[in-house]
């Protein structure tokens, strides 16, 4: 799982794949040739098939890495810090899981993800109403 920094170790550990943090370059400055050569080598050794941006649109440096290595950018960016705008923890987790699955050329079961989000919402609603009843 090639991303900008180490933020998805739990995915890598749980699902048995390797996390590769693309570090050693600035997001605002040009990438030095030696750094690019090192990244190219690491990506090839890890058999990386897609780069996962953590912002939309992807940062210029990640775009350059994709162009120079021939490794495509995932069309879906990951949420590495916090929650997706207007979404719950579970919605963010499901979105990241689908982005990773689809990016690695699998097929996300979106219906199962939506069912999980609905179930989580029902549990949260039940918890809130139980807490409100206990408080009154």
Strands 20-21 and 2-3: parallel
DSSP state of 46: T
The Cβ-side half-sphere exposure at 77, using a 13 Å CA radius, reads: 16
Domains of the chain with bracketed CATH: 2-135 (3.40.50.1980)
Average confidence (pLDDT) per 10 residues, the chain, 136 residues: 85 86 69 87 94 89 91 93 86 93 93 93 73 62
User: What are the structure tokens assigned to 82, written together?
Assistant: 């916090």
Contacts with 58 (C-beta within 8 Å, 6 or more apart), sequence order:
66, 73, 77
Predicted TM-score (pTM) of the model is 0.81
Residue with token string 């079961």 = 109
Could you tell me how far CA 133 lies from the centroid of its own chain?
38
User: What are the structure tokens assigned to 29, written together?
Assistant: 């400055």
DSSP state of 51: B
The Cβ-side half-sphere exposure at 116, using a 13 Å CA radius, reads: 15
Q: What's the confidence (pLDDT) of residue 26? A: 63
Q: What's the confidence (pLDDT) of residue 53? A: 93
Q: What's the confidence (pLDDT) of residue 136? A: 62
């Amino acid at each position: 799982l090639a991303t900008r920094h180490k933020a998805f170790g739990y995915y890598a550990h749980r699902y048995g794949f390797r996390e590769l943090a693309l570090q050693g370059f600035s997001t605002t400055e040009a990438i030095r040739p030696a750094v690019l050569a090192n990244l190219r080598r690491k990506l090839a050794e890890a058999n990386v098939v897609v780069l996962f941006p953590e912002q939309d649109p992807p940062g210029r440096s990640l775009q350059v890495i994709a162009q120079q290595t021939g490794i495509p950018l995932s069309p879906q960016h990951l949420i590495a810090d916090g929650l997706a705008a207007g979404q719950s923890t579970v919605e963010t987790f499901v979105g990241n899981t689908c982005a990773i699955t689809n990016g690695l050329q699998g097929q996300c079961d979106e219906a199962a993800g939506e069912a999980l989000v609905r179930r989580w919402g029902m549990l949260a609603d039940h918890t809130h109403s139980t807490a409100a009843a206990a408080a009154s």
